[in-house]
Structure 1
């Protein structure tokens, strides 16, 4: 049976650092499942900073869409992050949020059938103002619905605010 911990918050709120510390607290050799695609040089540098923070105790897997294809049974798995994972579906499915959400939910359900401890990191995009960009408004809807879906199934939910973890569920 899986255990799910969702860690959410705004950009630069400390989500990934907290998630990494939680994974290392639970296992001496956790899995880091990175969902990012490299879009530009600035993002490449951001990914490198994340990688440098992790030591040899981590098993690193880069997978941008089909997370469930990896055997993670019995492991502590940090999925960083749902936002980038959803972005990949959003653009692969030509911004069709209904199709992207359905596919994300199916992949999530398949993934968490594995007997593992999952720590998911995500962003709370809808806490700010409404974007002028139609594409961004669509993505914010997709992200919000996926966050709600994962949170409803999570055993524990933590909201990060200014580097501080606030317990929301569990």
Structure 2
């Protein structure tokens, strides 16, 4: 089962996903897709680690999420934006190759038993990117989000800490 949660920065996505996971499992998994690029981001990662309790198993993986030990688990995958950034760089900013790689990873997750709560940012709702690579990535993110949402059993959009259900398992 895939539960997809999207929204803007600081919309409450991660908190909501973690609360949802803890309602489903006493031993959830947190898959962190971030690559730590600088000291500021390292501090952010450390804060997130402190906020989660000892019941969480943390897996740090920049790609190949479907190959991680998440089968038969409740796992929060945080987040598509950083995961996609890693793939985009690996694929040398080739949108088609990156999207194909990402879709294959999502399909790999779909083949696993478990509950996978996938978090993503809605970056296309903000300011238009000033650079060509920024516009390419915004398009890529939008297509990736659409793919995950189309495969998800539930899709939730977070606004100001409040969930708005776009799709629930009874609608599929």
TM-score, normalised to structure 1's length? 0.96
Q: How much does 1:111 deviate? A: 2.0
> What's the secondary structure of 1:122's corresponding residue?
strand
The aligned residue for residue 5 of structure 1 is: 3
TM-score, normalised to structure 2's length? 0.95
Instruction: Give the Cα–Cα distance (whole angstroms) in 1 for the partners of residues 127 and 52 of structure 2.
Output: 34
Structure 2 unaligned residues grouped into runs of 5+: none
> What's the secondary structure of 2:30's corresponding residue?
strand
The aligned residue for residue 90 of structure 1 is: 88
Equivalent in 125, 128, 144 of residue 127 of structure 1:
125
> What's the secondary structure of 1:72's corresponding residue?
coil
* Structure 2 counterparts to residues 144-155 of structure 1, below 5 A: 144-155=142-153
User: Over residues 61-109 of structure 1, what are the superposed CA-to-partner deviations in whole Å (9 max), with x where a residue is unaligned?
Assistant: 0000111212322210100001100000111111101100000111111
The ranges of structure 1 where at least 4 consecutive aligned residues each deviate by more than 2 angstroms after the TM superposition are none
The aligned residue for residue 49 of structure 2 is: 51
> What's the secondary structure of 1:118's corresponding residue?
strand
> How many corresponding residue pairs?
168
User: Over residues 38-71 of structure 1, what are the superposed CA-to-partner deviations in whole Å (9 max), with x where a residue is unaligned?
Assistant: 0001111111111011111001100001112123
Q: How much does 1:143 deviate? A: 0.5
Equivalent in 12, 16, 19 of residue 18 of structure 1:
16
> What's the secondary structure of 1:140's corresponding residue?
helix
Equivalent in 59, 62, 71 of residue 61 of structure 1:
59
> What's the secondary structure of 2:121's corresponding residue?
coil
Instruction: Give the Cα–Cα distance (whole angstroms) in 2 for the partners of residues 56 and 112 of structure 1.
Output: 27
Instruction: Give the Cα–Cα distance (whole angstroms) in 2 for the partners of residues 134 and 93 of structure 1.
Output: 16
The aligned residue for residue 80 of structure 1 is: 78
Instruction: Give the Cα–Cα distance (whole angstroms) in 1 for the partners of residues 38 and 70 of structure 2.
Output: 30
